[in-house]
Amino acid sequence: MSAPLKVAVIGLGAMAQSVHIPTIRRRWDLFELSALVDISQRRRNDVRALTGIPEEHTYESVADLMRAVSAREVAVDAAVIATDGLRADDVLALLKRAIPVLVEPPLAYSKQELKKIAGFEKMLGRPLVMTAYAQLYDAGLDKLTDAVAGSDARLIEYETIMPSTGPLFKPHCVTASAYDVDVELRNARREAFEAELNNGAGAASTQRDRDLYVKGLLTGFTQQVLTLETAYGKLEKIDYLRQWPEGVMPGSLELLGRLENGAQVRLTWHYLPFFPEYRETIRVISSRKLAELSLYAPSLGDRSAKLTVREKDGASAVSQNGYEDTRGCADAMWDAFHRMAVNLELPLAGVAEAQRELALARDLLERYASAEGRELEPAPVVETEEAPTEEDAAKEEQEGAASEKPAEAAEESAAPAVPADPAEEELDAAVRQEMLADDAEVDDAEVGKDETAPKQD
């Protein structure tokens, strides 16, 4: 058996404390916790006290961690990123050292941000990025498709009820938020996030649009769609989308659509902060069966998926069969991450899936804005010439009469002036820039020729 992978945990908030660190320590045969990274000194101290990681292996930033790796002060074979805000720069810093990374979704908030990650992973020629959608690896999904095949499904309903963080993380006694972070640093991170969010949601998007994009679409519907597609195939068409209550974001969302195999789907996602528990249920109806799969959040590691199948047995009797997984989905996800890091196995959710998620979230947001008669991008500014007044026309006629020219010159001046094309002007500027660069290279070459070669003994 190979040695356990030494893992750095980056971002020590609720997901790290309730899911990733407990799973790493529980799976000591595959992983070993080697470093902690967080911008909060308080949180680093709290988690270090719980895990026993030495102080010299705790860092304020990924840049600090990478310097320690370069100096061989700490060993890192893999990493998990569970920070809030933007993650692309941290992911790239790890990819530059070919370190596999598990990232809490969303991987990015805009196509521009994700393009950098996709390009670097493609250049390295192996899978290195996996998104932490634990439910995709739940064995209950395989049991569900065994019970009702996609070709037999009449309707697939997927409902998620998301409460506040209390029911999800309270059993783990996670440490308090990072209130000790410098205000200027906090503001800089927020401004960078808002700037990237403008790229993703659109420059003309409202604050309500951005809340829906981040809190409902990228962390709600896209996870449902990806889970459903893992079990039953691609979402081929979206017929209907709505959000309610009016003015409450993200509130509740509903989507009606169709999978590529023809099965109709209904997705509902509710953010109910005062709901007593987290619920995630997939219900599949066929002509003969009713299958219901209950999935649990990865933070509830002691609870596993439960499947119930009811079908008609004989003339009137109804039989019911059940299945309950023997372990939580977080363990299955980390097993898959180990296979990607060691055996180069493609993850169920990687960069390609993240690109589809962004496209879907933007499409849904555009549908929402369009229903309100709005666009997410500002309309292009078109400059129009003002119509000349009678006074301007008379003045122009007087000036023309005062400056008569010979017939030959008059014919030349009679040709109308062609307005400059902005695109051509931009192209000309680019060409001039390239010519200047070429001239600089020629000058450098000439200087090199004029230099006297050093004498040899």
Task: Give CA–CA dist 153/240, Å, rounded.
Answer: 20
Residue 180's pLDDT is what? Answer: 84
Tokens 């249920």 -> residue: 281
Q: Which of 80-94, 149-163, 228-242, 383-397 has the lowest mean pLDDT?
A: 383-397
Helix, strand, coil percentages in the chain from 3-state DSSP, rounded to 5: 45, 20, 35
Query: DSSP secondary structure string, 340-383?
Result: HHHH-PPPSSSHHHHHHHHHHHHHHHHHHHHHTT--SSPPPP--
Range with top average pLDDT, 64-68, 82-86, 109-113:
64-68
The answer to whether 265 and 239 have CB atoms below 8 angstroms apart is no
* pLDDT (tens digit per residue) in 116-136: 999 999 999 999 999 999 999
pLDDT score recorded for residue 181: 86
d(CA 298, CA 408): 86
Counting every residue, how long is the chain? 457
Instruction: Read off the pLDDT of each residue in 420-441 and give the average, rounded to a whole number.
Output: 45
Q: What is the pLDDT of residue 128?
A: 96
Top CATH class, 135-327+350-371? alpha beta
Question: What pLDDT digit, counting tens, does each position of 170-219 carry?
Answer: 777 777 667 788 889 889 999 999 999 999 999 999 999 999 999 999 98
pLDDT in tens, 249-300: 899 999 999 999 899 999 999 999 999 989 999 999 999 899 999 998 888 7
* E strand map for 62-172: 78-81, 101-103, 129-131, 155-162
Q: What's the whole-model pTM score?
A: 0.81
CB 269 within 8 A of CB 224: yes
Residues in CB range of 107: below 8 A, 6 or more apart: 87, 88, 91, 114, 117, 129, 131, 351, 354, 357
CA–CA dist 52, 49 (Å, integer): 6
The tens digit of pLDDT for each residue in 341-385 reads 999 999 999 999 999 999 999 999 999 999 999 999 998 766 665
Question: Could you tell me if 99 and 79 are in contact, meaning their C-beta atoms sit under 8 angstroms apart?
Answer: yes
Q: Among 119-133, 221-235, 347-361, 411-425, where is mean pLDDT lowest?
A: 411-425
Identify whether the C-beta of residue 253 lies closer than 8 Å to the C-beta of residue 243. Answer: yes
Instruction: Quickly tell me which residue has 């783990």 as its tokens.
Output: 172
Residue 416, pLDDT > 70, answer no
The encoded tokens of residue 80 equal: 């998990």
Asked if pLDDT for residue 425 goes beyond 70, the answer is no
Domain ranges of the chain: 5-131, 135-327+350-371
Concatenated DSSP letters for 303-344?
---EEEEEEEETTTEEEEEEEE-SS-HHHHHHHHHHHHHHH-
In sign, the C-alpha dihedral spanning 235, 237, 239, 242 is: positive
Least confident segment among 68-82, 158-172, 221-235: 158-172
The two structure tokens encoding residue 20? 């990733």
**What percentage of the chain has pLDDT greater than the value 70?**
81
What pLDDT score does 400 carry?
Answer: 60
User: Mean of the pLDDT values across residues 317-345?
Assistant: 88
| Topology (CATH) of 5-131 | Rossmann fold (3.40.50)
Cα separation values, 112 from 82, 131, 198, 202, Å: 21, 18, 11, 12
Sheet holding 252-259, edge to edge: 235-244, 252-259, 264-271, 155-162, 279-285, 289-295, 306-313, 317-324
Average pLDDT over residues 301-314: 82
Q: Which amino acid is at 10?
A: I
